[in-house]
């Protein structure tokens, strides 16, 4: 038996388009004599469909499209069986009214063969809003070439039951334990698992444990592609019964790959790619898909000569092509000559178009207009915010006129403590590095400029030797340049001190006592906690941020604005 693994990149809610992808995968599988085609979790809808699941028109369309797949298989691939992810209505009117299910499609029709048992409601997941938990584990028996195959089925979270490995698990049944009684030949897991820094290795460990418990190979098939803030990296794989990887699919790319259980494939070590390379590829995919799926062909950003806008420029060029990226330089009286030169030199290395719009005259105009209303020419924070808002307004105007996607260039450290300006530098349709701390921005840029990145840079169509970001940008002290000789450290602790505290509070959920035990002073801890709380109203109005950490400031962050 040959099994085709279709690692697909769906458009959420585009059931017709997603059906076309599935049918195309059927053709590829059939051409390679596959007997079974596997697609990801909710593959007909794309994950996560969220409140589109309440649309009865789409539910009804689903049945038409499933029958279309049945018709195609009957006429073009009669020996092929297909597993797809669907939203199955419950037989009653109690809420929730859907199951997250797998349908088996063959030439003579289709039927539901598996329903998800463990429904995640943590972080970005909200499945109990839509789905009802199933009570039984899925199982199918396929007779292929005179051999009966007993195949166990699970859906994403159903595999994640190893509390020792994960550090936690959902309350509920253990689908793997149930399958130990079924004497299965293969376990299949249809997933839609978003990328985070540590997720790839963790998936391997979880699947390996299931393989050892069941004494059979495990197929882990994941969705790929960017959907709003979430990035699905694919990285699907097959393990043998000992948990060793014997087959793998590419990271961050669609793919239909054939695995033959009867062939003794060589056990391979799991790919130990540099974490910086994995992160960069994920961010590129996230931006690329966000732009294309939202109807944008080009991107715009403000180039300040700083490291944040430099990193976003590199990601944008790799995602969309340099010819589709424009940078705007908007020097003020407080902009250093070096920053303008650094921004221009970066643009030349990246081969992107730039325009220079000095804002001196606009600043004076605002001063004159506001002087009578506030009793003086704007000073201090008011003046600094005006600069950022003038720049934000210019960028939005150009983006509107040219139909560019405006990219926000703020990092996670700034967003955490509110070192950013609403309707200014926070303007944009997408925050590309809003889930990356400032120190990690420096680390990633250092890696991009190292010879370790040359191969990937060439693959991405970027200049493949020498510095890309540039040492002048990487080595300058962080500054928003909104007042004379201003540095970020004038207002904030050094990022080397600040970022570990932020990560401990935001991602690791540590309390003040734990931080005190790590040696941080009470005054510093209180200051950072206060800044995080005061900035909540800003983050609520920020653009979507590409999620790459275990806790991002997105749909999984649900802190009240008005709170103690």
Q: Pick from 77, 76, 70: which is nearest to 105 by CA?
A: 70
CB 4 within 8 A of CB 28: yes
Q: Which residues 6+ apart lie within 8 Å of 81 measured at CB?
A: 35, 36, 37, 104, 105, 106, 142
Q: Which of 116, 209, 412, 438 is catalytic?
A: 116
Dihedral-angle region of residue 481 (phi above 0 means left; psi in -120 to 50 means alpha; beta otherwise): left
- Sheet containing strand 405-408, edge to edge, reads 353-356, 325-329, 299-302, 405-408, 430-431
- CA–CA distances in Å: residue 232 to residues 225, 229, 278, 563: 5, 10, 12, 33
How far apart are the C-alpha atoms of 100 and 98, rounded to whole Å? 7
Q: Which of 21, 26, 41, 114 is catalytic?
A: 41
Burial 357-381 (b: 16+ CB within 10 A, else e): eebeebbeebeeebeeeeeeebeee
Q: Three-state secondary structure along 373-424?
A: HHCCCCCHHHHHHHHHHHHHHHHHHHHHHHCCEEEECCCHHHHHHCCCCCCC
- CA–CA distances in Å: residue 219 to residues 153, 226, 287, 389: 10, 22, 29, 51
How far apart are the C-alpha atoms of 423 and 387, rounded to whole Å? 11
- Under DSSP, the state recorded for 173 is -
Tokens read off for 136: 């039984």
CA–centroid distance for 504 within its chain? 21
Instruction: Tally the C-alpha atoms within 13 A of residue 443's C-alpha that lie toward its C-beta.
Output: 14
**3-class SS of residue 470:** coil
Active site residue 156: yes
How far apart are the C-alpha atoms of 520 and 524, rounded to whole Å? 7
Q: Which of 156, 252, 317, 445 is catalytic?
A: 156
CB 391 within 8 A of CB 415: no
Q: Which residues 6+ apart lie within 8 Å of 41 measured at CB?
A: 47, 85, 100, 155, 156, 190, 191, 192, 223
**3-class SS of residue 315:** helix
How far apart are the C-alpha atoms of 208 and 212, rounded to whole Å? 6
For residue 300, the cross-strand partners are: 326, 406
Tokens read off for 200: 């790839």
Active site residues: 41, 116, 156
């Amino acid at each position: 038996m040959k099994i085709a693994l279709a690692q697909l990149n769906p458009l959420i809610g585009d059931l017709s388009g997603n059906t076309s992808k599935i049918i195309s995968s059927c053709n590829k599988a059939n051409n390679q004599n596959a007997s079974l085609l596997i697609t990801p979790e909710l593959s007909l809808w794309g994950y996560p469909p969220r409140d589109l699941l309440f649309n009865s028109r789409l539910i009804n369309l689903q049945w038409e499209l499933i029958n279309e797949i049945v018709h195609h298989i009957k006429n073009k691939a009669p020996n092929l069986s297909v597993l797809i992810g669907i939203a199955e209505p419950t037989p009653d009117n109690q809420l929730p009214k859907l199951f997250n299910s797998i349908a088996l499609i063959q030439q003579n029709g289709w039927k539901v063969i598996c329903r998800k048992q463990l429904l995640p409601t943590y972080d970005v997941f909200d499945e109990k809003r839509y789905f009802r938990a199933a009570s039984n584990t899925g199982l199918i028996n396929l007779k292929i070439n005179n051999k009966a195959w007993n195949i166990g089925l699970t859906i994403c979270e159903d595999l994640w039951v190893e509390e020792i490995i994960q550090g936690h698990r959902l309350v509920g049944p253990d689908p793997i334990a149930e399958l130990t009684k079924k004497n299965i030949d293969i376990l299949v897991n249809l997933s839609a698992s978003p990328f985070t820094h540590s997720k790839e290795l963790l998936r391997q460990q979880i699947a390996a444990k299931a393989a050892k418990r069941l004494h059979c190979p495990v197929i882990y098939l994941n969705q790929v592609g960017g959907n709003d803030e979430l990035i699905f990296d694919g990285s699907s794989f097959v393990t043998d019964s000992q948990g060793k990887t014997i087959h793998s699919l590419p990271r961050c790319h669609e793919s239909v790959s054939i695995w033959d259980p009867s062939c003794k494939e060589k056990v391979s070590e799991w790919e130990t790619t540099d974490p910086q390379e994995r992160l960069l590829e994920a961010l590129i995919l996230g931006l690329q898909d966000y732009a294309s799926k939202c109807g944008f062909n080009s991107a715009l950003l403000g180039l300040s000569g700083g490291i944040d806008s430099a990193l976003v420029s590199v990601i944008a060029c790799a995602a969309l092509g340099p010819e589709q990226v424009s940078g705007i330089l908007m020097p003020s009286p407080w902009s250093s000559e070096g920053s303008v030169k650094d921004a221009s030199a970066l643009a030349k290395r990246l081969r992107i178009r730039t325009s220079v719009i000095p804002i001196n005259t606009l600043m004076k105009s605002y001063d004159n207009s506001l002087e009578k209303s506030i009793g003086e020419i704007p000073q201090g924070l008011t003046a600094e915010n005006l600069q950022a808002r003038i720049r934000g307004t210019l960028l939005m105007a150009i983006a509107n006129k040219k139909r560019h996607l405006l990219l926000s260039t703020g990092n996670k450290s700034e967003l955490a403590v509110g070192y950013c300006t609403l309707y200014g530098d926070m303007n944009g349709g997408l925050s590309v590095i809003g889930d990356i701390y400032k120190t990690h921005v420096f680390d990633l840029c250092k890696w991009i400029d190292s010879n370790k990145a040359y191969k990937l840079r060439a693959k991405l169509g970027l200049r493949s030797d020498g510095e890309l970001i540039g040492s002048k940008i990487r080595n300058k002290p962080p500054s928003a340049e909104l007042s004379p000789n201003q540095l970020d450290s004038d207002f904030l602790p050094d990022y080397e001190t600040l970022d570990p505290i932020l990560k401990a509070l935001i991602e690791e959920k540590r309390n003040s006592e734990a931080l005190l035990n790590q040696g941080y002073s009470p005054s510093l801890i209180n200051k950072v906690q206060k800044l995080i709380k005061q900035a909540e109203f800003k983050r609520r109005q920020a653009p979507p941020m590409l999620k790459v950490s275990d806790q991002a400031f997105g749909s999984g962050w649900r802190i009240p604005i008005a709170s103690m």
